[in-house]
Homo-oligomer: A and B are copies of this chain.
Amino acid sequence: MTESDDKNARHAKRMARKKAVIDEAIARADQEKGLLLVLTGNGKGKSSSAFGMAARALGHGMKVGVAQFIKGRSDTGEEAFFRQHPNIEWHVLGEGFTWDTQDRERDVQKAREGWEIAKRMLTDPSFNLVILDELTYTMNYGYLDADTVLADIAARPVMQHVVVTGRAASQGLIDAADTVTELMDVKHAWRAGIKAQPGIDL
């Protein structure tokens, strides 16, 4: 047996053991239900990740609803791209970050009107996936009542998936979620003086 053969044999044995462990975990995870996913933290990629899931869902023939709170980035690439698709409903509900609008009452009013639209999707079982993009800000600033939001999400159709994005997800939202990822900002091109780039940031 050559050294290389030996290395390969040990690799195969180790991987067979690993596969057995993973297969067992897969067999144990046998429940199906609509998930609540939360993508939070200061790192780049929260909304992108939600939109990647939208692509996944559309690829499975599912119907997707998107509600963008706070940001009113009406000319972004993802919106231009997805809006063409017949199986997605896309709502831009906010007018910009609160430091752009500088009008709290208007922000509150917009958030409440926005939630009515989100709630319609959260009560319609024809939506397989509902994305509530940048929702955390409306909860954290008190534009929406956090308990009402959580109750409306909890009352959704049993197989509907919901993805919530935004910084600083509240403990209540984290407790309610099935899956939570915190995106940590390890490094950002912005701090090196590089401007927001189409296809990456926009």
* Any B CB within 8 A of the CB of A52: yes
What's the nearest-Cβ distance from chain B to residue A78, in Å?
5
A8–B80 CA distance with the chains assembled, in angstroms: 34
- Scoring A30, A174, A189, A197 by chain B CB atoms within 10 A of each residue's CB, the highest score goes to A197
* Any B CB within 8 A of the CB of A120: no
List the B side residues contacting A82 at CB < 8 Å: 55, 59
Contact residues of A between 16 and 51, Cβ < 8 Å to B: 16, 18-19, 22, 25-26, 28-33, 35, 37, 39, 41, 43-51
* Any B CB within 8 A of the CB of A196: yes
* Any B CB within 8 A of the CB of A154: no
Q: Is the CB of B199 within 8 A of A187?
A: no
**Residues of chain A at interface, number, CB under 8 A:** 84
* Any B CB within 8 A of the CB of A178: yes
Query: What residue in chain B is nearest A201 (Cβ atoms)?
Result: B56
Known: A52-B51, A184-B184. A200 touches B37 (CB 8 A): yes
Query: What residue in chain B is nearest A96 (Cβ atoms)?
Result: B19
What's the nearest-Cβ distance from chain B to residue A198, in Å?
5
Q: Which segment of A97-105, A109-117, A145-153 sits at the interface?
A: A97-105
Known: A32-B197, A52-B78. 12 other contacts (CB 8 A): A11-B102, A26-B195, A43-B183, A52-B55, A53-B200, A161-B199, A174-B186, A174-B187, A178-B188, A178-B194, A180-B187, A184-B184
